[in-house]
Structures are given as structure tokens and as C-alpha cells.
Amino acid sequence: DAGVIQSPRHEVTEMGQEVTLRCKPISGHNSLFWYRQTMMRGLELLIYFNNNVPIDDSGMPEDRFSAKMPNASFSTLKIQPSEPRDSAVYFCASSIRVAEAFFGQGTRLTVV
């Protein structure tokens, strides 16, 4: 079992650029979550999907953030345009039961 796979592991980009983060959930898991982690705010749920359908995107901070899940094995989180305050570690997690979420290794995003 390869676990949840995220790419890239690190991303450095200039303010105003578009950033796309990618996630491959564990095969057979029907729920997918995108989290953001910062020192100040801890782990924040941005959006989650169930059976590829976005269920709750109330955590998405602004319209600059969007997420898609075109199929059961792939999801993207896009930030356009990026801003320095978007710098954080972004985690993707998947689960069969909501309570037992398995996290990827994260993408550390730095916007300069």
C-alpha cells in the first residue's frame, strides 16, 4: 500500500503565480480531504470530497482557492493568484470512514 501520495513535496513560487498541488488517495478510499497547516492556526480543513463530489468547501479561505476531483484516484488544489500568506504545508488525506483519515506527506508551499 503506497499510502496517500502528494506532489510536489516542496513548492516555491512568486506572488501572483498559479500553484497546483496534487494528490493520489489510497485506492478504495471514498473520502478525500485537503488540509492546511500553519504554526498559527494548526490543521485547518479546507475542503472534502465524498465519492469525488465536493461536500463541504466552507474551509476554503477565498475564491483564489479551488479544488477538483475528476476521478477516484486524483485530486488537485489550485491557488490562483498565490499570495505570501498562502505559505503553509498542505496535506491531502483519504479515508473509508471519515474518522480514520490517512494523511499524505504534505506539500510545503512558500510564496515569495
Partner 1 sequence: GQQLNQSPQSMFIQEGEDVSMNCTSSSIFNTWLWYKQDPGEGPVLLIALYKAGELTSNGRLTAQFGITRKDSFLNISASIPSDVGIYFCAGHRQGAQKLVFGQGTRLTINP
Residues that bind partner 1 (CB under 8 A): 4, 33, 42-43, 45, 48, 50, 55-56, 91, 93, 98-106
Task: Kindly tell me which of 20 and 37 has the beta carbon lying closer to partner 1.
Answer: 37
Task: Kindly tell me which of 81 and 105 has the beta carbon lying closer to partner 1.
Answer: 105
Cell of 77: 488544489
Q: How near is the Cβ of 18 to partner 1 at its closest, in Å?
A: 24
Judge whether 83 and 111 are in contact, CB under 8 Å.
yes
Cell of 57: 468547501
Could you report how far apart the first and last alpha carbons of the chain are, in Å? 36
In DSSP terms, 104 is beta-bridged to none
Task: Kindly tell me which of 15 and 96 has the beta carbon lying closer to partner 1.
Answer: 96
Task: Kindly tell me which of 3 and 84 has the beta carbon lying closer to partner 1.
Answer: 3
Q: Closest by alpha carbon to 73, among 23, 6, 19?
A: 23
Cell of 30: 471514498
Q: How near is the Cβ of 48 to partner 1 at its closest, in Å?
A: 6
Judge whether 7 and 76 are in contact, CB under 8 Å.
no
Q: How near is the Cβ of 41 to partner 1 at its closest, in Å?
A: 9
Q: How near is the Cβ of 16 to partner 1 at its closest, in Å?
A: 27
